[in-house]
A = this chain, B = another copy of it.
Amino acid sequence: MNTYQRIVLASRPQAEVKPEHFRLETVAVPELADGQLLIRNHYLSLDPYMRGRMNDARSYAAPQALGETMIGGTVGEVVASRHPSFAPGEFVAAMGGWAEMAVSDGAGLRKLDASGVPLSAHLGVVGMPGMTAWYGLNRILDLQPGQTVCVSAASGAVGSAVGQLAKLRGCRAIGIAGGQEKCDHVVRELGFDACVDYKAGNLRADLKAAAPDGIDGIFENVGGEVFDAALARTNPFARVALCGMIAGYDGADIPMRNVRLLLANRITLRGFIVTEHLDCWPEGLAELGALVAAGRLKYRETVSQGLASAPEAFMGLLKGRNFGKQLVKLV
């Protein structure tokens, strides 16, 4: 095991992401310096934000460098350590990237208690996506019992947690998802009050039927027509947690048409990045972990096998082909 595999950004997509934008490489495992540790990554998380990083555009984060390991969250096991705080056999969440192994100096690592919840869940409902749902719901939407929240990409890693956490607060949860199978899952397995299939062609009418009392909070993961349709059903003083614009990640601008409703309904909208609110993570992760361990917060995963499958899985994620949290199993 003197080498491992990684995937680097070979070129930047102008629009749709294609296999040629990635390159699989075999590289040598480096010698550890003092203060470093070596992690064998077990799971890689694939997330929509990665599409934005592939652009060479002004954004909240620096673009992914060409020829470098693709950025990504991972969970894995420490296999060697010259760091005083980490020992072989410990499990950690890290930004290990699209790679079988990662060297770290300990910065940003989060030690995992592998006993309570499955290891992979620390990349999903008890990790960044779960915290995204928790923060947007608790710190931005802040709904009262009986109010209605609408969440797009409702069967996804973030959306599924948003609706379930809202139900635990006594709210009415309406999902929007693509296809009957996902919608059935959202209602029957996750307990949402309703879920609208945006692919069925009656988005606005179906949303009106699903939210007869209007919408008090939008947790927006998609943008475009789906967002406009939810805005059209808002009640006065509705709030919007703007989390993602997946529909726009392929380069095309997706305008918002219902701008006047932001004024007419005196809406408060806030875009947010959950990694800028790390002070909330201990409280949120403790709550999420306890809910998962108690079986009160469910999640679903789509797992592709082996690092080489990551580009195909990522392209599927951008097209909504995954069902729940998209992971790559590396070991």
Contacts and interface: CB of A to CB of B under 8 A. Distances in A.
Nearest to A269: B269
A263 interface: yes
A255 B273 CA distance: 24
A303 to B, nearest CB: 28
Contacts of A52: 264
A96 interface: no
A236 interface: yes
Residue from A60, A253, A257, A270 whose CB has the most chain B CB atoms within 10 Å: A270
Contact of A265 (B256, B262, B271): B271
Given A262-B271, A266-B270, A269-B262, A253 B248 contact: no
A266 B223 contact: no
B257 A263 contact: no
Given A60-B236, A245-B259, A259-B223, A270 B271 contact: no
B276 A271 contact: no
Interface string A266-286: 111111110010000000000
A212 to B, nearest CB: 15
A71 interface: no
A293 interface: no
A254 interface: yes
Nearest to A243: B263
Contacts of A267: 269-271
Interface in A48-80: 52, 58-60
A211 to B, nearest CB: 15
Given A255-B255, A266-B271, A266-B273, A248 B260 contact: yes
A242 interface: yes
Contacts of A59: 264
Q: Which 4 A-B pairs have the closest CB atoms?
A: A255-B255, A263-B271, A269-B269, A256-B256
8 contacts: A253-B259, A254-B259, A263-B271, A266-B270, A266-B272, A266-B273, A268-B270, A269-B270
